[in-house]
Every structure is written in C-alpha cells, then in structure tokens.
Amino acid sequence: MAAQRWRGPCHRAQPVSEDTDENPGGGPPASISLREEFDGAGIAEVLAQLDRELIGLKPVKTRIREIASLLLIEKVRQKMGISAGQPTLHMSFTGNPGTGKTTVALRMADILHRLGFVRRGHVISVTRDDLVGQYIGHTAPKTKEILKKAMGGVLFIDEAYYLYRPENERDYGQESIEILLQVMENQRDDLVVILAGYAERMETFFRSNPGFRSRIAHHIDFPDYGDEELFSIAELMLAGQNYRFSSAAQDAFRRYIAARKSQPLFSNARSIRNALDRARLRQANRLVADLDAPLNAETIMTLEPEDILASRIFAQAADSRVSAA
C-alpha cells in the first residue's frame, strides 16, 4: 500500500526527463522536427487566441511571438543536450492603465506552461500590500508566503514601483525587494516574475534598483489604443456578453470614445468596459420604464444611442465647450 502510493504521483512536466523516456537507448536525438515541437506544445493555438482576443497591441504581440520562438528553440536545444541552462524569463510590462498588461500576463503564463518552462502555469497577481508587512519582522514571512504560492507559475506584481519608497529610508519595501531578487536569481526554474506598471515610474524604479533591471530579460511596452481599436474592443466585449450596438448606437459610441479620451483618468479598455456596464444599466432602465412594450430577443440584446448619449461625458464635453467660448 505504502509502496503503491510512493510510486503514484511521480509526474513532473520536465522536458529533460521526457527525452530519456523517448530514447531508452540513451543519448540525445540527432534531429528534431521543429514542426512537431511547435504543434505538440500547442503554441499556435495560444498565439491565435492572443490575436483573436486582444485588439491592437502590435508591438506586444510581436515580442510575445519572439519570446515564444526563443523558448521553443531553447526547448529543442535542451532535448538535443546542448542546453545553456534555464534562460532568464523575468519580464517587465510597462504601459498606461487598461492596456492589457494583466491579460497578457495570463497568456504568457499559458505559453510558458505549454513549453514546460513553468510547471503549473498559474498566475498569482499581487501588489505592494500583499508583499510588504506592517511591522518589523512581518515582511519576510509575508513575501515568502506569496513566493511559495507562486512557485511553479508566474508572479505578477502590479504597480511594482510602490515596493520602493525612497522618501522613507526605513520602509519595509526594501526588505521585500531583497527577498524577491534572491529568489528571482536562485530559483529561476521554479518561478517567473512579471513586474508591471506605468512606464515613467517603472523607469525610476529600475534606476534606483539596478538589481531588478539586470535580472529582467524582457521589457515589453504596451502602447495606448487608438479610437478605432477601442471601438473594436467594445464590440468584442459586448459580443462576449451577448449584446450589440444598433447602427445609430455605433456612431454614438464612437463619439463617446472621442469625448472620453479627452477627459482625465482615461484608462483605455477599462474605461470602455465601465462605459459599457453603465450603458447596459441605462438600457435595462429604459426597458423597465415601459413595462407594456413588446419585448423580444432583438430589443433586449441591442443597445440604442440614448443608452450611450445619456452619459455625463457628453454633458461635460458640452460644458467645457461653453466655458471655452
């Protein structure tokens, strides 16, 4: 019984050990079909999903393709026995809010998992609060606990620059940074760390913590979305929720995007999602207002221009035009 259990759970996704299974005679294979590796890992599927579900972000997609190719080649090299050791995979994602950093991190974890560079492929998303403690001796256990949870997957640190507070020299963030750096260096095959945040502040953060910059292999910059891209994102989001714009509402929403972009605190796709949520609210309100009107699937799925034009964004835009004049 004991012996059975002991043999039971020996399943680790490690490319090197797979290789020995396939070649019981020993020795690395002389040639490997790249196509087979590519199809076997199912990367094409992840990349296609990335193209389908993420609008725009051309430079990001190109970088991810490059990284995926690099990892694929690295995996083949490992199989052939000419490995250069575990490559550094830590990354930094910089860009404005709502440009898809978290979404891409999830996809990245998937790619890394499929290629066998992380064992489990889960993502633990944290901010400063999860890593840094409130009193002396609290930080190290807290950071280590998060690191342990992230082992075998990806640790996504959002707004990483908050870890470092130069104005307070006794800030516990420094302690957390030291532990992170140590684990990032010594346990590269156990975990991949992705730092994310706004570009300028990340730049300052890296300048004051050169240890991070040198341990991060891939810096990816997320550009802002254009108007037309934002509109496609909106349509994609609505389709996911089984809603659609009427043709008049499409124009209204295009105008909404233009108006919203000029307002402060515009956070790209996140603002779009919030706008759509509010539009759904107004649509529901409009439908409920007239209880006797006939209702069919078409009307209940369609957002009309008045659902969008009622937004305070238009009122504010009008105000500012009046005050300017």
Which parts of this chain interact with another protein (CB under 8 A)?
Answer: 2-3, 5-6, 8-12, 119-120, 122, 141, 144-145, 147-149, 151-153, 187, 190-191
* Shortest distance, position 150 Cβ to another protein, whole Å: 8
CB 182 within 8 A of CB 56: no
* Shortest distance, position 137 Cβ to another protein, whole Å: 13
Nearer to another protein, 55 or 118 (CB): 118
Nearer to another protein, 135 or 292 (CB): 135
Q: What is residue 87's DSSP assignment?
A: P
Q: How far apart are CA 276 and CA 310, in angstroms?
A: 12
Dig out the tokens for 117 from the structure: 């560079």
* Shortest distance, position 143 Cβ to another protein, whole Å: 12
* Shortest distance, position 187 Cβ to another protein, whole Å: 7
CA distances from 211 to 93, 173, 177, 178, 311 (A): 17, 14, 9, 9, 47
Q: What angle do CA 277, 281, 286 make, to 5 degrees?
A: 145
* Shortest distance, position 23 Cβ to another protein, whole Å: 21
Nearer to another protein, 8 or 27 (CB): 8
CA distances from 252 to 246, 262, 322 (A): 10, 16, 21
CB 158 within 8 A of CB 95: no
Nearer to another protein, 106 or 151 (CB): 151
Q: 315: helix, coil or strand?
A: helix
CB 75 within 8 A of CB 40: no
What are the φ and ψ backbone dihedral angles of 35, each rounded to 5 degrees? -60, -45
Nearer to another protein, 120 or 312 (CB): 120
Nearer to another protein, 171 or 190 (CB): 190
* Shortest distance, position 148 Cβ to another protein, whole Å: 3
